[in-house]
Amino acid sequence: MSTRTRPETGLLARSVLGALTLEEKISLVVGRDMWTTRGLPRVGLRPIALSDGPVGVRGTSTDESVRSAMLPAPSALSATWDRELAWRVGALFASEARRHGVDVVLAPQVNLQRTPVGGRHFECYSEDPHLTAEIAVAVVSAAQERGVGMCVKHFVANDSETDRTRYVARVEARALREVYLPPFERLVREAGAWSVMGAYSGVDVGGVAAPALEHRPLLTGVLKDEWGFDGVVVSDWVATKSVLPAVRGGLDLQMPGPDGPWGVGLHDAVAAGEVTEAELDEKVSRILLLAERVGALAGADAAAAPAGTAWPDAVGERPCDAAPPPQSILREVTARSVVVLKDDPRLIPTGVRNARRIALVGPNAAELFLQGGGSSFVRPDHVTHLPSELQAALPATRVDVHPGARARQNPPALDVGARCTDPESGLPGVRIELLSADGHVLSSVVHDEWNGWFAEVVPEARTLRLTTSVHLAEPGRHALGAGTVGVHRVLVDGQLVCAGDVVVAEEIILSSGHNHPVATTVVIDVDEPTDVVLAAELQVVHPVGYDSFVRAALVHRLPGPGDDEVMAQAVEAARAADLAVVVVGTTEEVESEGFDRTSLDLPGNQDELVRRVVAANPRTVVVVNAGAPVLLPWLDDAPSVLWAWLPGQEGGAALADVLTGQTEPSGRLPWTLPARASDVPVPHATPVDGIVEYAEGVHVGYRAWERDGLTPAACFGHGLGWTTWSYDGVTLVVDPDHPGDVTVDVTIRNDGERSGREVVQVYVEPPPGSQDDRPRRWLGGFTVVDVDPGESATARVRVPLRVFQVWSVDTWVTPVGRHTLRVGRSVRDLRLTVGVPPLSPNNP
């Protein structure tokens, strides 16, 4: 990775600060609108544009035709354990940001995967702070070197979604310092992060409890004063709840604007002397510095890599001769992220390539689940599909596709263009009328397309009336209905389908409840073609800080075979095939921002499908298409199992590459896969009396599994790839570039018949007799090595001094005694051991 440094910045920002009036300063610390800050043309300042998010750069436009590169979920990137690939993803973030006119990307999310039920588990990198930091530092460094800011989120201990705007995370100081703060600290100290986002939730550390945006000891004391953070602390959207406490706490920019607490009350607080101009200057100077860094100040140019260096090459620091298209990078990252949980007998890729008939079954086979729900959503440039990609890779093989099971609770979307007619005009589509509070019709229009959302509302609109005639031609049982939020009444031919009287506002956005409302349907038995009228009265939601909208997910399930028949067809296809590939997984109904999962089970009847296919064909590959852990009760019986994450737009092509042997699935688990829900150390994320108690202390994720001696389905760091490895020796070496750290050289050998990529992992064990409640072992370092078959290589792994240390009474302390380093392929496949001479007890 490049180590080029940015030119010195700040001089221009300081000169502009001195030219601003008090009113202009106040205007700069509140967003102009949903996604931009205010500009001041008088001093050459244009607005700064911010945009979500972790799986791509959506941009600031509401135009649904705008498309973006959809990356695999952050957990998938972390599963590569590859800093170079992470660097290339950071470069892609910068390229995509420039493409969409964005200055600051609201990513990465470096909260930890404290519990597998966390709703945004897929958006996080790992359950381990060191792995999280290593990948995130590469991403942020690469993007910011190219003049695009990355906003690191959510500071701090915001690791679950239930009641996220109200709960307080109670964390002991040591756990906070050793587990939850390290990724943020390293992003500030090593990557020089330009922005940090404060969380919705609160934090109680050492008895000091406050909302995250008002927590002065953390925001100002630790982040700014101790670590030297010179960037902008941005509020999560609509998270600011106060004026003076947030100002004093350390918040710099309230988003969005122009209303909200600061938009309404900051001017008065300054006028009353409650907020001083010096306090305001400190915040404005940070915003101006950010503007200078991203090129939003006249006379300042955002950094840009020299021609030909935008895409570091995959094997070193040499610049590529030409920038490859983004899809090739995404395809490589996605394929590399796939984890081989098991493959016995070896079906990948030999068994796949030799098959003359493949049964591709499962609800996610035809349409992979590409991205989780919530604010990270992007509309992809294109999507690759596994059936067509697999067929193209194996032209002589017959590929049959069968759903076999259901994964979603809601029926499919109603095909408005093909089935619906406005009863009044006879035009195709649905009639949309906006009504005022007194029932006056403000506007009326017919839409021949409907995606479940309506945003063309005016402030005085209170109700949307939707009317359409739905043509049901197929004989049999139809299900028709809608999913919505807020006050509503939905009727089909005058029959009440559902109703609600709860008025909703911005809280429905913060809970993500508007994204995936559960649909209610009515059953209609059809003997001959008929038309039914669907009518709905729906609340127009006017959320503070967000655009107004109406939500109406119209759904329709056609007559067809029942669950038993669909599964039987898939099982018979698998029985008749040379090889079966079963693709099962989650959906946006269960993996999303705004809520936590209530179960680790695969949704629907997918487990039964896997059991029956495996029983029918012993040559079966099961692909798990999920972001967060799910229970695999059939794991012992399935011959071959791949974990394929939420893969983004290149998922179909990348998975075909893996199955056919074009790219090695060299991923390693960045979290622990449980075998039983009862074994999970933190089984839920539900606050008790408003408190989420981090009672596990420093024993997060695999550390708790090691402490308790429980056996997971697959341990942290596990992944088989497609070759076998010997670990032949480990030695301590002196690295003059890192004299305070511990460095080891590890000799490994590729014993297989194919070139392979190995992730060499080094774990630290505390000195014997340690009394400070240290984990049994924890990740200290890792590296990725590519080795040809029959060849050996030496992998150098650096273990930073900090990972040996403990936080004790407000300082870092190096425990006395000899630590042990364990080297291997996962936290439980440890091949080599080396002792570390006693480290200096002095603080760094």
Give the integer Cα–Cα distance in Å for 385 and 63: 25
* Backbone φ/ψ region at 645: left (φ over 0), alpha (ψ -120 to 50), beta: left
Structure tokens that stand for 27 in this block: 């205007």
Token look-up 């086979």 returns 365
* Backbone φ/ψ region at 245: left (φ over 0), alpha (ψ -120 to 50), beta: alpha
Contacts of 342 (CB under 8 A, 6+ apart): 635, 638, 639, 640, 641, 720
Sign of CA dihedral 414, 418, 419, 422: positive
348: Cα separation from own chain's centroid: 28
Rg (C-alpha) for the chain, rounded Å, is 28
68 in Cβ contact with 380 (< 8 Å): yes
103 — phi, psi (to 5°)?
-95, -35
Note if 103 is an active site residue: no
CA atoms within 13 A on the CB side of 788: 1
Q: Where are the alpha helices (DSSP H) in 243-372?
A: 244-249, 260-271, 277-294, 326-337, 350-354
Closest among 217, 149, 159 to 187, alpha carbons compared: 149
Structure tokens that stand for 406 in this block: 């259901």
Closest among 175, 172, 158, 156 to 121, alpha carbons compared: 158
Q: Out of 82, 159, 204, 236, which one is annotated catalytic?
A: 236
| Pairing relationship of beta strands 640-643 and 339-343 according to DSSP bridges | antiparallel
Token look-up 């201990």 returns 157
Closest among 84, 131, 107, 123 to 645, alpha carbons compared: 123
Closest among 529, 534, 533 to 553, alpha carbons compared: 534
**Amino acid identity, position 743:** T
Contacts of 699 (CB under 8 A, 6+ apart): 681, 707, 775
CA 774-775-779 angle, to 5 degrees, is 120
CA 681-686-690 angle, to 5 degrees, is 125
Closest among 58, 25, 70, 28 to 46, alpha carbons compared: 28
Contacts of 736 (CB under 8 A, 6+ apart): none
Sign of CA dihedral 179, 185, 187, 189: negative
Give the integer Cα–Cα distance in Å for 806 and 114: 20
What order do you get walking across the sheet with 725-733 strand by strand? 725-733, 742-750, 792-799
What order do you get walking across the sheet with 149-155 strand by strand? 50-52, 104-106, 149-155, 195-198, 232-235
Give the integer Cα–Cα distance in Å for 561 and 462: 41
Give the integer Cα–Cα distance in Å for 247 and 241: 11
CA atoms within 13 A on the CB side of 160: 25
Give the integer Cα–Cα distance in Å for 232 and 210: 20
| Pairing relationship of beta strands 463-472 and 430-435 according to DSSP bridges | antiparallel
Q: Which residues are catalytic?
A: 236
